[in-house]
Amino acid sequence: MFLHFSAGRKLDFFDLDISFSCSAGKMLVLIGPSGGGKTTIVRMLAGLEKPDRGTITFGDEVWFDCSRGIHLPPRKRRLGYVFQDYSLFPHLTLFENAAFAAVDHREVNDLLDLFGIGHLRDRKPHQVSGGERQRCAICQALARHPRLLLLDEPLSALDVVTRRELREELKILKTRISFPIVYVTHDINEALFLADAILPVVNGRADAEWMHRAAGGESSTLSPPRAARAPRLALAY
Amino acid sequence: MDVSALYITLKLAVATTLILVVVAAPMAYLLAYVRFPGKSLVETLVYLPMALPPTVIGFYLVMFMGPRGGLGRLWQMGTGHPLLFTFQGIVIASLIYSIPFAIQPMKAAFLKIDRRMIENAYVLGLSARETFFRVVIPNSMSGIVAAAVLVFLHSIGAFGILMMVGGSIPGETRVASIAIYEAVETMDYRGAALMSLSFIPVSYAFLLLVNRLNKDG
């Protein structure tokens, strides 16, 4: 399955206008400074926001086409979306959260075990740590058998150790799945560690130079060995 | 003590509470989340009974529910009976009188729900209706219970509007507040005192519950 996004929208401070593609089993990382439009792009992919123009297609399916007046609602896109901070349902246990939209409830326990939170299945979200909540949010998204996975800064609210652990788990997860993943972050190391392709987004536009500028300005956040084997930029993808 | 008046009061308050919780919940949801033209006008209209003297509402309801009024005529055609001076009539009056007290706490509770939680439900495949029942309602229980308690208390205290729409027919429309008034009028102070006293523990307990809910929520 191939995701293609080519759409735009007038935002308060700039005009978002961007195109990219992502194929099955690949992770495209949208990176850039805060307020640059990354989350808006992901919300457009999810159907939570509507572009002013352009198209969004997934395989043969048209999710959005401005000229034809097509806008598929979020519930019909069958995708997984892990929000920046936890959007779990507080009245449900971790198991009930993960099973909320599960295709096969028998898989849910396996998923919880896979992410190391099986023993917390009967706890409510407020009774577990931030990392455990976010693991549960990923289980919830995966249990739906999504065709596309959107991860919007899923690690940003976590402490350094948990962030590193979960990053490793996501790296392993990536090798096991067969659908595209769009991942949003402003952390260059995270992007370089996880991405198959990177798309820097600045003020709503693709900006290939941003990575170099950010790496030069914040050399401590970009480890040279990883930079040397950096994934290609999505601009040329 | 007029026991039947206490029974009618309780019956009216329970009917008003049950009906309003069901009817006002989707209205409050609509006012909390949906944008539509003239929304502020509609919202002000919904809250109007709170700002009008009960006798003014009562007057318009008498006109509307009377034999020449729109609802009164329809009711007469449908049931063969008039609507004014009946228990059904005072239920309708009580619903209109108490609707702001149902809408306000529920709307506030709905607005407290994190928008992302609702969006997550949509992304997970739920329709707006399913999201309302599976996500919004369970996470707004304190607001819904607070609304129910306020409506109940407001209903048991109604007087002027019920007097105008229902009069004081024993066993049918004479509620405790009217019975207390009439007891005082006829200098039956003992009866009035007993009935008045029966309100205090009920109202106190329910208000305590609302306070607890507000603290928890």
Q: DSSP per residue over A8-66, as a string?
A: EEE-SSSEEEEEEEEETT-EEEEE-STTSSHHHHHHHHHTSS--SEEEEEETTEEEEET
The CATH class given to the A2-79+148-236 domain equals: alpha beta
Q: Are B153 and B207 in contact (CB under 8 A)?
A: yes
* d(CA B116, nearest CA chain A) in Å: 6
- Please count the other Cβ atoms lying within 10 Å of the Cβ belonging to residue A160: 8
Q: A70-71 and A197-202 as β-strands: parallel, antiparallel, unpaired? A: unpaired
Structure-token match 């609304």, residue found: B147
- Give the CATH number, domain containing residue B28: 1.10.3720.10
Name the more confident of A91 and B207. A91
Complex ipTM value: 0.86
Indicate the residue of A81, A90, A91 with minimum beta-carbon distance to B123.
A81
| B120 near A CB under 8 A | yes
Single-letter residue type at A173? L
Number of domains chain B contains: 1
How far, CA to CA in Å, does A125 sit from each of A89, A135, A152, B138? 8, 11, 19, 15
B123 and A79 within 8 Å at the Cβ level: the answer is yes
Q: Does residue A225 register a pLDDT over 60?
A: no
Structure token pair of residue A93: 């246990």
Condensed to tens digits (0 to 9), the pLDDT of residues A32-59 reads 998 899 999 999 999 999 999 999 999 9
A46 and B123 within 8 Å at the Cβ level: the answer is yes
Structural domain of B55 = 3-216
Indicate the residue of A74, A90, A144 with minimum beta-carbon distance to B122.
A74
A100 and B124 within 8 Å at the Cβ level: the answer is yes
Chain A residues 128-147 within an 8 A CB cutoff of chain B: 140, 144
A74 and B135 within 8 Å at the Cβ level: the answer is no
Structure-token match 């209706």, residue found: B129
Alpha-carbon dihedral B60, B63, B65, B67, rounded to 10 degrees? 180
- Please count the other Cβ atoms lying within 10 Å of the Cβ belonging to residue B5: 24
B135 and A85 within 8 Å at the Cβ level: the answer is no
Contacts of B117 in chain A (CB under 8 A): 87-89
Query: Closest-CA residue in chain B for A142?
Result: B124
How far, CA to CA in Å, does A36 sit from each of A41, A181, A206, A218, B149? 10, 20, 10, 18, 47
Beta strand segments in A41-163, E: 53-58, 61-65, 70-71, 80-82, 149-152
Which pLDDT score, from 0 to 100, does residue A153 have?
A: 92
Q: Does residue A237 register a pLDDT over 70?
A: no
Which pLDDT score, from 0 to 100, does residue B5 have?
A: 93
Taking residues A87-114, report their average pLDDT.
Answer: 94
Q: Buried b / exposed e across A214-236, counting CB within 10 Å, b at 16+?
A: bbeeeeeebeeeeeeeebebbee
Q: For each of chain B's 217 residues, which pLDDT tens digit applies?
A: 788 999 999 999 999 999 999 999 999 999 998 889 999 999 999 999 999 999 999 999 999 999 889 999 999 999 999 999 999 999 999 999 999 999 999 999 999 999 889 999 999 999 999 999 999 999 999 899 999 999 999 999 999 999 999 999 999 999 999 999 999 999 999 999 999 999 899 889 988 888 887 776 5
Residue extents of the structural domains in chain A: 2-79+148-236, 92-145
Condensed to tens digits (0 to 9), the pLDDT of residues A191-216 reads 999 999 999 999 999 888 887 777 66
Stretch among A3-7, A146-150, A217-221 having the lowest mean pLDDT: A217-221
Q: What three-state secondary structure class fits A5?
A: strand
